[in-house]
Amino acid sequence: MDSETSALSGKRALLIEDEMLVAMLIEDMLTDAGCVLAGSASRLSDALVMAGDDALEADFAILDVNLAGEASFAVAEVLARRGLPFAFSTGYGAHGLPEVWRGRPVLQKPFTAAEVQTILERIVSGG
């Protein structure tokens, strides 16, 4: 990713991911695009608190669908209510999402830095 030309430069990201290595990889991708990590959580309870925190200053979120065996759709509901754009992250693709969420952008694992940048640029621009 090129932070010099990225529409993501300076944007604040909320990362919800339970796999430490995947989270570190995504953090690197975000940093390379010029993003700032506004917060991260690896468990559903922490993610719910963070997503609902009015003091959270985030421009977008990446939300892993499965957090240590718990579905994260309650977090998706909080993010959607707040109007915070987000993309799901999952190994199952859009077909693994409940019907209500199938219109949301999906980063299908494994993904590349270019795929992450494309999806995130789309969601921060309102696409």
Has residue 6 been placed in a domain?
A: no
Question: How does pLDDT run across 26-83, given as a tens digit for each residue?
Answer: 999 999 999 999 999 999 999 999 999 999 999 999 999 999 999 999 999 999 999 9
Has residue 18 been placed in a domain?
A: yes
Residue 95: the pLDDT is 84
Residue 117 CA to residue 2 CA, distance in Å, equals 9
Q: How many domains does the chain fold into?
A: 1
Share of the chain above pLDDT 90, in %: 87
Cα–Cα nearest to 79, from 42, 49, 119? 49
Residue 93 CA to residue 70 CA, distance in Å, equals 17
Residue 16 CA to residue 94 CA, distance in Å, equals 18
CATH number of the structural domain spanning residue 90: 3.40.50.2300
Report DSSP state, residue 99.
G
Has residue 7 been placed in a domain?
A: no
Q: Is the pLDDT of residue 114 over 90?
A: yes
Has residue 91 been placed in a domain?
A: yes
Has residue 1 been placed in a domain?
A: no
Residue range of the domain that includes 104: 12-124
Has residue 21 been placed in a domain?
A: yes
Residue 5: the pLDDT is 59
pTM: 0.93
Has residue 89 been placed in a domain?
A: yes
User: Any long-range contacts for 97-102 (C-beta under 8 Å, 24+ apart)?
Assistant: 97/65, 98/73, 101/73, 101/76
Has residue 99 been placed in a domain?
A: yes
